[in-house]
Structure 1
Amino acid sequence: MVRTIAFLAFPDFQILDVTGPLAAFEIAGRFGRQAYDIRVMALDPGPVVSSSGARLMAEGLVDPARVDTLVVSGGEGVVQAMAMPALLDYARTVAAGARRVTSVCSGTFLLAAASLLDGRRATTHWYRTAAFTRRFPRVRLEADRIFIRDGAFWTSAGITAGIDLALALVAEDHGEDVARRTARQLVIPYRRQGGQSQFSTLLDLQGASHRFAGLLAWVGGNLAQPLTVDQLAHQAAMSPRNFARAFAAEMGMTPAKAVERLRLETARALVEEDAAALDQIAAQTGFGDTERMRRAFIRTYGAPPQAIRRMAQGDAISQPA
């Protein structure tokens, strides 16, 4: 069975929102059990001008009954697209029968404007989260995620996150091996550093400090160790007292807090993306035991590791408010 992947573009769309995921599907089609039927469509067929000025040739709106997966692009033009009743009606009609309805970046706005995300979990580009929350309070926005699945609806963060989303869809269609081979062909990591978060704690901390960047990179690779202040100070070639004082002054947090942040981010990525037992993850990330890791997860994320794993797997689906 050939699956039709239909990309919806509109004037002033972000071209990478279409071409990035499109390339992933095209390459996966070579490796998978069957090829994809990839379509780029717009309300008015012909060349569609992107926000960069580059044009992409599009056909008219595909018969909704043929669409397996809808991919709504984002971009500056989404504000005007949301005001087009024909596009909103089309999205609703497709959603009634398609296997998957997805968006890249601010394409989430169009799905929300069609009332398709009410009561659902969703994400979008971090820059647009405040505006999104004000406009669509019924959508349960999770602003720090790369992509989120809520039933048949998948939404993703800014621009290149659309490729992460496409790889997840490929994995669902063809399995993990094909998705990994596709990522290698695209010369990108299959699992982005930092798991599903739009933000990386390690990059954030390193960006705040040139002085301790090397130490933080070392910590990220040695989370299973105790990582006491004495150990960190030795690695930084400083006395423990001077190190603790200098680190807190420069980073705005204690060494212990920075280590916990790194452990939590890595543990969450493993919980969401790996089938390893929780006690193995706790040992690998330096928590030592599952109870300590559980308390840290609840304190930081408001949910235990088991619940976060279920949500990542799409089992914990939000109900309408």
Structure 2
Amino acid sequence: MEYGNQLNQYDLTATPEAVEKVLVRARELAPRNETADVYKLCYGCIDLTSLGCTDSDARIGAWVRKAMEFGRHFSGIPNVASICVYPNFVEVVGLAVGDGNMAITSVSGGFPSSQTFLEVKMLETAMAVENGADEIDIVISVGEFLSGEYDRMANEIEMLKNEVGPDTVLKVILETGELKSPELIRKASLLAMIAGADFIKTSTGKVAVSATPEAAVVMCEAIRDYHAKTGRKVGFKAAGGVRTASEAVLYYTIVETVLGKEWLTPFLFRIGASSLANDLLGAIEGHPVKYF
């Protein structure tokens, strides 16, 4: 498909001034959302993530078992939405999760740089799904996008979506910190959705600038406009550097402000995090918590 032409159906304008206007409103509203109920909802939208070079079968297995035992230690709090790992640990997570209802998320496609052969991306993705991944997080080819190769970038997403099939959630990471301008973030958001993304996600957490509220506003507005034109709901995921309950609530409030409360479910709103889980638990419990 000629994806570049598809962009002509949308207003591509996105200015820092317009973004700031929405963000000021969200910041004004955020304090009212600093409640136990919102903290709990945010906790239930976490993709609990471990993407470190020291990960091992033993470490990931023990970590996932702790996540599965969460309900024994904390009542009235929904468990995290998913466990997110490298593809070689998907089977380990599956054994630890067992028949639990927690989703298994795998990064794939040459994460975090997306710099490898398309055939390798497709094989890695297929193997992750075959081993039990319910959700796949890939990164756009940022270099191709910044070079204006919109068709090449988007066709790759389409091929990977076809690889995972309709029953597996595909989250597409834009790496917004490398895109620099609201207009580029808007274009990347729209291209990813047109190509088949089920979620669009801010960042890998592996570059200098990760998730920002400004990028979230642009992405949510793109989701809103795409939904208005197509009727298809695409989710939003903030990831990279989201560490505190207050930060999580701000992203919650941005989604609420731009997209409405119907987007505030684990099916359409996620936060990729590791240390955030403990901070949210502390906010809910009223004292510091270090469970993970």
TM-score normalised by structure 2 residue count: 0.30
Report the TM-score, using the length of structure 1 for normalisation. 0.28
